[in-house]
């Protein structure tokens, strides 16, 4: 299946660049199988083929290097894929976790221009002071420091109305330091271009590399597209920050920067500047008179509440996104990557934890299959045996004594072995838990995340059987049942009517049949062209052989044309790699 012609001509230069990078990193066999050599000029094709040598690096290392060379969008893709251990091999995840956004910042003049275009006023009217030197730069944007005007009055800033309601905050214009995150110029165009090419490449991989089906290439690209489009929309990030502030408004242990909405748009988000120590700066915390173990415990409790109580959690809690204020309060920044867990999924996870600690193998298997989605037939007895081995390592231990990171790693390994895919947000949660556990151990060698999960699980289980909550659930389920019973006679009547009219149809989907049809169509076209060409050659030869000079001028051009047609046909057969 060739790339879409429209996308091909629109992104021809980028397509050639991608093919060249793949060849340079030793993926010539993949390029050949995907039939991408056609997108290189013939002379570059020959040179690259001759220059290509078997690299000494492993395949995962070459994949990482290729992604780094292809630029920010592909680096982001690798970073997102590193959160999917249920789909991506462990060796590749190790390499993908090394991906760093080595992107130079854009100039302060460009940053000023973007701000002035976004808000339609000179920057002097937006901020009392704006530092053109960025504090940090990434593939999607960079952060500058600014200061609010020094005014004696105070106003109320509010976020746009949403299903969550309005979030109001008294804001004092007293020279407050701000952080201004500005989107890179042309980044939306570049990402959309690369997303379209990624999608086409994923379709080619699924069609021509059957062994890659286990990784769900199209699904991975679609997941990445959702993530990256959320990240480049800074208004969405600002709303997420407001939602976190609403959920944790009564929590004195967590600080989330307030959004300055009149200086926020899709390309710019302005917020309070969080000035604090990095959470993994153990010596700095001790020097400031803070207890690292207490900070680790505080961060763990905050994250557990996010995930299991509110169902909204920070997806990338690495040290760069966690700050500790001088008062010991944990500050959270960069809300570009967040995950959501619906109440049903949270309860299923809790049931899974309880099944493991109680040694309930059957219940654990049921939860595994309930949460996940197998992409191949599951050998349930073998799955049950593997789950039993997992439980044996943790059975009898209280929840607070379980190494949560090890348990989740073994759990993911079972999913991979049995071809079970889990929701992307759940895989993001597992990755975030592992990251957080590593940060906690840097602060406190005795840190155990399960210690802080245990009391929360117990509380959630008690809340599940709260009489008021059970009554609400019974009423909800009864309403759903009534809707089903109401619609049942209608559906039965429609089915019987179709049966009586011989109009009942069964839809069958033949996978990969379109590929067979394409190949048969291509072969038949070649046969027809060959027959026409042969007939033209024979006819023109007979005309030339005749002594009639009046028709001789018809035979020679026909003979030349048919010969060229034959050469073109032979070249096409050799180019396709199939004789």
More confident residue, 160 or 405: 405
Output the pLDDT for position 158: 44
Query: Taking residues 258-276, what's their average pLDDT?
Result: 92
Residue 130 lies in a domain: yes
Say whether both 204 and 349 belong to one domain: no
Mean local confidence (pLDDT), 201-209: 81
User: For the ranges 93-97, 374-378, 501-505, which has the lowest average pLDDT?
Assistant: 501-505
Compute the mean pLDDT over every residue in the chain, rounded to the nearest whole number.
78
Q: Classify residue 306: in a domain, yes or no.
A: yes
User: In this structure, are 267 and 297 located in the same domain?
Assistant: no
Share of the chain above pLDDT 70, in %: 78
Q: What is the pLDDT of residue 286?
A: 92
- The verdict on residue 383 lying in a domain is yes
pLDDT of residue 382: 92
My answer on whether 283 and 268 are in the same domain is no
537 and 458 inside one domain: no
Q: Do 435 and 451 fall within a single domain?
A: yes
Where does the pLDDT of residue 165 fall: very low under 50, low under 70, confident under 90, or very high at 90 and above? very low
Is residue 234 included in any domain, yes or no?
yes
pLDDT score at 146: 93
Show the domain range for 526.
Answer: 514-576
Q: What percent of the chain has pLDDT over 90?
A: 17
Specify the number of domains making up the chain: 3
**Segment 526-535 mean pLDDT:** 74
- Look at 353 and 3; give whichever has higher pLDDT: 353
Does position 183 have pLDDT exceeding 90, yes or no? yes
Domain end residue (candidates: 245, 273, 301): 273
pLDDT of residue 571: 65
Is the pLDDT at 259 greater than 90, yes or no?
yes
Residue 488 domain flag: no
Express each pLDDT in 342-359 by its tens digit.
888 888 888 887 887 778
- Mean per-residue pLDDT for 323-343? 88
Decide: 154 and 118 in contact? Cβ < 8 Å: no
Give me the mean pLDDT over the 397-426 stretch.
77
Q: Does residue 301 share a domain with residue 432?
A: yes
Whether residue 232 is found in the same domain as residue 303: no
In a domain, 492, yes or no: no
| Across 149-164, average pLDDT | 45
Q: Say if residue 405 is in the same domain as residue 528.
A: no
Kindly state whether residues 115 and 226 are assigned to the same domain: yes
- DSSP code per residue over 252-310: TTEE-PPB-GGG--SSEEEEE----EETT-HHHHHHTT--HHHHHHHHHHHHHIIIIII
* H/E stretch holding 323: strand 322-324
Residue 140: the pLDDT is 86
Answer with the residue of higher pLDDT: 268 or 219: 268
Q: Which one is predicted more confidently, 131 or 560? A: 131
- Alpha helices for 34-149 (secondary structure H): 42-51, 59-70, 72-81, 90-96, 108-119
8 A C-beta contact, residue 217 and residue 375: no
Residue 472 included in any domain: no
70-74, 138-142, 490-494, 535-539: lowest mean pLDDT where?
A: 535-539
Model confidence pLDDT, tens digit, residues 537-561:
777 777 666 655 555 666 667 767 7
Closest CA to 239 of 163, 139, 341: 163
Tell which wins on pLDDT, 31 or 573: 31
Q: Does 478 map to a domain?
A: no
Say whether both 125 and 203 belong to one domain: yes
Nearest to 94 by CA among 347, 526, 341, 434: 434
Under the banding of pLDDT at 50, 70 and 90, the label for residue 62 is: confident
Res. 337: pLDDT tops 80? yes
Query: Cα torsion for 60, 64, 66, 72, to the nearest 10°?
Result: 150
Query: Per-residue pLDDT for 440 more than 70?
Result: yes
pLDDT, tens only, 366-393? 888 888 888 788 888 999 998 888 888 7
Asked if residue 180 and residue 111 are part of one domain, the reply reads: yes
Domain end marker among 273, 306, 329: 273
Of 395, 430, 465, which one is at a domain's C-terminal end?
465
217 and 327 inside one domain:
no
């Amino acid at each position: 299946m060739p790339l879409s012609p429209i996308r091909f001509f629109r992104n021809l230069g980028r397509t050639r660049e991608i093919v060249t990078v793949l060849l340079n990193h030793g993926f010539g066999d993949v390029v050949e199988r995907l039939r991408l050599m056609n997108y290189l000029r013939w002379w570059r094709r020959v040179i690259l083929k001759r220059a290509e040598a078997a690299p000494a690096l492993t395949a995962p290392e070459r994949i990482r290097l290729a992604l780094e060379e292809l630029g920010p969008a592909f680096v982001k893709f690798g970073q997102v894929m590193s959160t999917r251990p249920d789909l991506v091999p462990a060796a590749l995840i190790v390499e993908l976790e090394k991906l760093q956004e080595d992107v130079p910042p854009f100039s302060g003049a460009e940053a000023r221009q973007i701000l002035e275009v976004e808000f339609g006023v000179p920057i002097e009217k937006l901020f009392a002071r704006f530092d053109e030197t960025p504090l940090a730069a990434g593939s999607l944007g960079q952060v500058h420091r600014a200061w609010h005007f020094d005014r004696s009055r105070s106003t109320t800033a509010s976020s746009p109305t949403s299903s969550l309601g309005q979030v109001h905050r008294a804001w004092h214009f007293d020279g407050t330091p701000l952080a201004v995150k500005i989107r890179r110029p042309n980044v939306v165009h570049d990402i959309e271009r690369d997303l379209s090419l990624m999608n086409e490449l994923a379709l080619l991989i699924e069609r021509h590399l059957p062994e890659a089906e286990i990784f769900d290439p199209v699904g991975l690209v679609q997941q990445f597209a959702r993530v990256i489009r959320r990240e480049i929309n800074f208004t969405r990030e600002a709303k997420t920050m407001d939602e976190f502030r609403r959920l944790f408004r009564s929590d004195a242990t967590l600080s989330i920067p307030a959004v300055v909405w009149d200086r926020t748009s899709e390309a710019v988000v302005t917020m309070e500047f969080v000035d604090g120590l990095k959470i993994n700066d153990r010596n700095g915390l001790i020097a400031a008179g803070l207890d690292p173990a207490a900070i680790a415990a505080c961060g763990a409790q905050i994250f557990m509440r996010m995930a299991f109580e509110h169902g909204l959690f920070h997806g990338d809690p690495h040290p760069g996104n966690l700050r500790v204020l001088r008062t010991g309060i944990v500050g959270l920044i960069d809300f570009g990557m967040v995950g959501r867990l619906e109440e049903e999924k949270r309860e299923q996870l809790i049931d899974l934890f309880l099944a493991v600690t109680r040694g309930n193998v059957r219940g654990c298997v049921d939860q595994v299959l309930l949460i996940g989605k197998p992409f191949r037939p599951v050998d349930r007895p073998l799955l049950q045996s593997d789950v039993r081995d997992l439980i044996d390592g943790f059975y009898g231990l209280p929840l607070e004594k379980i190494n949560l990171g090890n348990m989740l790693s073994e759990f993911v390994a079972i999913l991979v072995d049995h071809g079970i895919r889990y929701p992307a947000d759940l895989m993001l949660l597992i990755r975030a838990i592992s990251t957080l556990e590593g940060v906690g151990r840097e602060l406190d060698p005795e840190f155990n995340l399960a210690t802080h999960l245990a009391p929360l699980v117990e509380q959630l289980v008690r809340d599940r059987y709260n009489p008021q909550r059970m009554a609400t659930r019974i009423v909800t389920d009864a309403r759903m049942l009534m809707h089903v019973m109401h619609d049942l006679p209608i559906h039965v009547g429609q089915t019987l009517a179709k049966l009586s009219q011989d109009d009942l149809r069964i839809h069958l989907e033949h996978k990969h049949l379109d590929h067979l049809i394409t190949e048969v169509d291509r072969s038949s076209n070649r046969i027809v062209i060959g027959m026409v060409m042969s007939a033209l050659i024979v006819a023109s030869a007979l005309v030339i052989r005749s002594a009639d000079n009046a028709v001789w001028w018809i035979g020679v051009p026909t003979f030349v044309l048919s010969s060229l047609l034959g050469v073109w046909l032979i070249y096409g057969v050799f180019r396709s790699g199939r004789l």
